[in-house]
Structure 1
Amino acid sequence: MIEELLFFMEVLVAGLLSGTMYSLVALGFVLIYKASSTFNFAQGAMVFFAVLSFVGLMEFGIPFFVAFIITVVLMIGVGLATERLVLRPLMNQSEDTLLMATIGLGFVLEGLAQAVWGVEVRRLDLGIKDSPIPWIADNLQLFISALDVTAGLVATAMIVGLTLLFKYTKIG
C-alpha cells in the first residue's frame, strides 16, 4: 500500500512540474494571439532555433551566460525581422493568410536550423543533474528529479513575473 502511495506522489509531483512548463508554452501562445490576433505556428520553430543557437554557441566554447545573452539578442533580431519582413506586409490580409505565413515561417526556421547545425542530436548541459534529489529520496523515499524541480521553479517564476508585469505596469 505504501509503495503505491509513494509512486502516486512521484507521478503527481512530476505531473505538476511538467504542467508548469506546459502552462508557460500555453501562455506564450496566448500572449502572441492577444497581441496580434494571429495564432503563431512558428512559435515552436522559434524555440527550436533559439535552443540550437544556444547549444551551438556553447559548442564553440562560449560560456553559458554569454551564450544565453547572445541567443536572447539573436532571437530579438529574429522576432523583429519576422514582424517587419513577414507579418507587417500581411497586416491587412485575412487571418488565414497570416496563419499560413506563420506555418511557412516555421518551415523556413526549421530548414535554416538544419542547414546551419545539421540533423544530429545535440546535448545541452545545464549543470543540473537529472537524478533524484538526495534529501527527498532519503527522507521521503520519493524520487523527484532535480532537473524537473529546477525547470518547474523557473517556469513558475516566469509565470509570476509575467503576471506581475501585465498586472502592475503600463505594458499590461
Structure 2
Amino acid sequence: MDFLNAIFVQPFADMAAAPDFLLQVVWEGLVGGVLYALIALGFVLIYKSSRIFNFAQGIMVVFAALTLVGLHEKGVPALLALPLTLLVMLVLAVAIERAVLRPLVNQPDIILFMATIGITLFLIGFGEIIFGGENKVMITRELMIPTDSITMDLFGGFVSIEEKDLTSVIGSVLLVAALLLFLNRTKTGRAIRALGDDHQAALSVGISLSTIWVVVWFIAGVIALATGIAWGARAGVSFALEVIAYKALPVLMLGGLESVMGAIIGGLAIGILEKLFEVYWGQPLMGGNTEAWFAYVLALIVLLFRPQGLFGERIIERV
C-alpha cells in the first residue's frame, strides 16, 4: 500500500502543494525539450529528403559549436565567427554530398547509414586534431546572449528563468518558424517535401537530388550550430555534447521519423515528462538519474502500440 501511495498519490500531492516548484520543473523540462526537438529536426529533414538516417547529426552539433569557439580563440570577432561557422557547415555539406553521398546513390539504406557513422568518426578525429579534446566555454557574452536570471509570475506561480535559456527558447521558436516557412513557401522547400512524399516521382520531374542533399545537410548544420550554442551556453562545449544528441533517438521514435511536427511535439513531451518523472518519481523512489533512460523506455512503450510513432505514417505492405 505504501508503494502504491508513493507512485499514484504522493507525487500529485507534492505538485499541488508546491505549484511554484512544479512550474520551475516544467520550465526546465521545456528548455531541454526544445533543444531535443531541434536535434531531431536535423534527423527528420535529412531522412525525408534522402532516406538516410544521419547518425552524424550529434557530432555535427559538437563540430559546429567547436568551430565557432575555435575561430574566436584564434582572434576572430564573435559576430564574424558566426557567419564563418555557417560557411564551414556549408562547405561540410558540399563535401559530404560530393565525397560520400553521390558515390553511394542507389546503394542499400544500411550502406548509407554506415557512411554516416564513418562521417561521425571522421569529424571526431578531425575535430580533436584542430580544436583539441578539452572542454571550452561558449562565447555567450560576445554573442550578446544574456546570462542573468529573472523571476517571472506565470499562472499564479513564480519561476526563476535563466535569460540564456529564455533566449534559447525564443531563438528556437524563430528558427523552427523560419524552417516551416522555407519548407512550405519556397520552391526549394517544396522540392524537399516532394522528395519526402514520393522520391521517384520527384526525381522524374527534374528535381536535382545533389542540390537538395546539399541544402538539407546545410540546414541540418544550421540547426546543429543553434543547438550547439544553446547547449554550450548551459554546459560548455566538448565532445561530451554528442551524448546529449542521442536523446533525439527516442524523440524520433515517439514522434515519427518523417514528421517535422512529430519531432517538435516529441521533443517537448520527452523534455517535460522526463524532468517531471525525475523529480517526483525518480529521486524519491529510485535515487535519481532516471533522465538517462526514461526517454528510451517511454519511446519503447509507444513503439509497442504504434511502431511508426505517434505522427508517423502507417506503412501497409501487400504480399
TM-score, with structure 2 as normaliser: 0.50
**How much does 1:129 deviate?**
4.4
Equivalent runs, 1:34-53 vs 2, <5 Å: 34-53=48-67
Return the match for 1:94 from 108, 114, 118.
108
**How much does 1:17 deviate?**
2.3
CA distance in 2, matches of 1:95, 1:159: 28
The corresponding residue for 2:173 is 156
The corresponding residue for 1:18 is 32
1:42-82 deviation line (CA, Å, top 9, x unaligned): 11112211111110011112111110111111110011001
Amino acid at match of 1:99: F
Runs ≥4 residues deviating over 6 A:
none
The corresponding residue for 2:185 is 168
The corresponding residue for 2:139 is 125
Structure 1, gaps ≥5 residues long? none
SS, match of residue 18 in structure 2: helix
**How much does 1:143 deviate?**
1.0
CA distance in 2, matches of 1:141, 1:167: 38
Aligned length: 170
**How much does 1:30 deviate?**
0.5
Structure 2, gaps ≥5 residues long? 1-13, 191-319
Do the aligned residues in 1 keep the contact of 2:56 with 2:120 (CA within 8 Å)? yes
Deviates most, 15-24 or 47-56: 15-24
1:117-151 deviation line (CA, Å, top 9, x unaligned): 11111101212344421x528x9642111111100
CA distance in 2, matches of 1:148, 1:16: 10
CA distance in 1, matches of 2:68, 2:140: 11
Do the aligned residues in 2 keep the contact of 1:42 with 1:106 (CA within 8 Å)? yes
CA distance in 1, matches of 2:168, 2:127: 25
The corresponding residue for 1:71 is 85
The answer to whether 1:136 aligns with 2:144 is: no
User: Percent sequence identity over matched residues?
Assistant: 39
Return the match for 1:145 from 155, 162, 182.
162
CA distance in 2, matches of 1:81, 1:89: 12
CA distance in 2, matches of 1:6, 1:73: 44
**How much does 1:18 deviate?**
2.0
Return the match for 1:56 from 64, 70, 87.
70
Do the aligned residues in 2 keep the contact of 1:18 with 1:148 (CA within 8 Å)? no
CA distance in 2, matches of 1:14, 1:31: 27
TM-score, with structure 1 as normaliser: 0.91
SS, match of residue 149 in structure 2: coil
Do the aligned residues in 1 keep the contact of 2:23 with 2:157 (CA within 8 Å)? no
Do the aligned residues in 1 keep the contact of 2:39 with 2:57 (CA within 8 Å)? no
Q: Using a 3 Å threshold, how does the CA distance of structure 1 residues 5 and 72 change in structure 2: closer, same or farther?
A: same
The corresponding residue for 2:122 is 108
CA distance in 2, matches of 1:20, 1:46: 18
Amino acid at match of 2:152: I
